[in-house]
Amino acid sequence: MTTTTTAPTPTANPLPVWPQLTAAEIDRLHTEAHERARVLRDEAIADLWGGAGALWGDAVDRTRRAADRLAARLHQHAKRRAADSGALGA
């Protein structure tokens, strides 16, 4: 028993996946795609550095507050030492 299969006959215009475009339309779409990619890249960079800037700012604020607390503690310590040395010397 021999079976043969035949391939479907190709039609003149099988449903194209992509519409038929002229070279000018392809160039226009290509240019638009590049421009959109540039805009998206710029937005991504702005988001990245905006977030990094916020983290950096928080770190600077925490460091500044820690430095202020340390300076206050050192000032209080110096005042106590001066008061103690004055009391001992009297």
Write out the chain's pLDDT in tens, 90 residues.
Answer: 566 666 666 555 566 676 788 889 989 999 999 999 999 999 998 888 887 888 888 899 999 999 999 999 999 999 999 888 876 555
Q: What is residue 37's predicted lDDT score, i.e. its pLDDT?
A: 96
Whole-model pTM: value is 0.43
SS (H, E, C) 8-51: CCCCCCCCCCCCCCCHHHHHHHHHHHHHHHHHHHHHHHHHHHHH
Cα maximum dimension of the chain: 126
Cα–Cα distance between 50 and 38 in angstroms, integer? 18
| Domain boundaries, given as residue ranges, for the chain | 24-90
Q: What is residue 46's predicted lDDT score, i.e. its pLDDT?
A: 87
